Chains A and B, each alone.
Chain A
Amino acid sequence: DIVLTQSPATLSLSPGERATLSCRASQSVDNYLAWYQQKPGQAPRLLIYDASYRATDTPPRFSGSGSGTDFTLTISSLQLEDFAVYYCQRRSHWPPGWTFGQGTKVEIK
């Protein structure tokens, strides 16, 4: 099975700062990598698909990059509404299992 490892587990930053989140796959997932944001009590929200494409309504301050095994989600200037937990997910069809990373919590410093 392909394992996704996210780092760091927690990121403590101030509004206006830049956030850089990492997701590393145990083997290549090509560019079949998505990023989600989840706030307490809510369903996850898709931010990025196919590693670097913003989903509808995703603000331009969110950007994704990477391919193969190493991926990055960058938030250029944190807004108050961006403090949340972020998950990466692979969507490659083989091997089976669209697994999630364990999440990175972005908290207010």
Chain B
Amino acid sequence: QVQLQESGPGLVKPSETLSLDCFVSGASISTYYWAWIRQPPGKGLEWIGYVSFSGSTNYNPSLKSRVTVSLDTSKSQFSLKLNSATTADTAVYYCAGIRDDFAGDHWGRGTLVTVSS
């Protein structure tokens, strides 16, 4: 079955870059949008962005200047980089694969990233 697993540091210092990877197994890389979503503690979901197999990206306008989502098909993984992190970026970060016909998706379990000195 399709599985996604987030990995990366759980603690990031302010002004540094928050970097996460998501390893994908059991899915065809070419038929999904590969996305990142986050959820600050006790709050709602926030869309970060996606990358498609063709390399097209779609970012949250409020984060666009700081975000890069990229895909490495050789490693079956995609990545998130969020520059100039602040305490407001503290959240559970989820990676997800959304079928390109929108009929289904698969999510990782989420990983908590805390931005603190």
Which of B43-64 touch A at CB < 8 Å?
44-47, 50, 58-62, 64
Separation of A7 and B45 alpha carbons in the complex (Å): 16
Residues of A within 8 A of B64 (CB): 96
Interface SS of chain A: loop
Residues of B within 8 A of A50 (CB): 102
Q: Determine how close the nearest CB of chain B comes to the CB of A50; give it in whole angstroms.
A: 6
Residues of chain B at interface, number, CB under 8 A: 24
Number of A-B contacts (CB under 8 A): 61
A99 at the interface (CB under 8 A from B): yes
Residues of B within 8 A of A56 (CB): 103-104
Asked if A97 and B59 make an inter-chain contact with CB atoms under 8 angstroms apart, the answer reads yes
Stretch at the interface among B17-25, B72-80, B106-114: B106-114
Separation of A36 and B50 alpha carbons in the complex (Å): 18
Contact flag A98-B47 (CB < 8 Å), given A49-B103, A55-B103, A56-B104: yes
Separation of A87 and B61 alpha carbons in the complex (Å): 20
Asked if B45 and A103 make an inter-chain contact with CB atoms under 8 angstroms apart, the answer reads yes
Separation of A83 and B50 alpha carbons in the complex (Å): 30
Query: Which residue of A has the minimal Cβ distance to B35?
Result: A98
Asked if A99 and B44 make an inter-chain contact with CB atoms under 8 angstroms apart, the answer reads no
> B-facing mask of A26-45, CB < 8 A → 1, else 0?
00000010101010000110
Contact of A44 among B62, B103, B107 (CB under 8 A): B107
Which of A6-24 touch B at CB < 8 Å?
none
Residues of A within 8 A of B94 (CB): 43-44
Separation of A91 and B102 alpha carbons in the complex (Å): 8
> A-facing mask of B67-110, CB < 8 A → 1, else 0?
00000000000000000000000000010101000111101111
